[in-house]
Amino acid sequence: MQLFYLNKQFIPKMKFDWHKDKLFLTTVIDKNYKNTQNVRRFFTSEIGDHFHFDREFMKWLKENQGKTLLDAVRHRKKMYERNPG
């Protein structure tokens, strides 16, 4: 769940739009997660131009609701270390 600041209070944002909402390392992967161009741009900026979605990583994203995009970035980098190709 994303939070935004309003009148000195953090207010939960009810529905996150993976297509257009700004992504942060603290963004939580929710049940509505989608592999979108927005997400691809985010991961490319965090991991590098060699980033690509593969089945293993997409499965990890679907199975790890509640974790953050930082967790996902760390996991993907470990995957690249195991298999750089």
Model confidence pLDDT, tens digit, residues 10-64? 555 568 899 999 999 999 999 999 999 999 999 999 999 999 999 999 999 999 9
pLDDT band at 83 (very low <50, low <70, confident <90, very high): confident
pLDDT of 60 reads 98
Q: How far is CA 5 from CA 10, 15, 41, in A?
A: 5, 16, 25
pLDDT of 20 reads 96
pLDDT of 16 reads 85
pTM above 0.85?
Answer: no
Between CA 35 and CA 59 the distance in angstroms is 11
Structural domain boundaries in the chain: 3-82
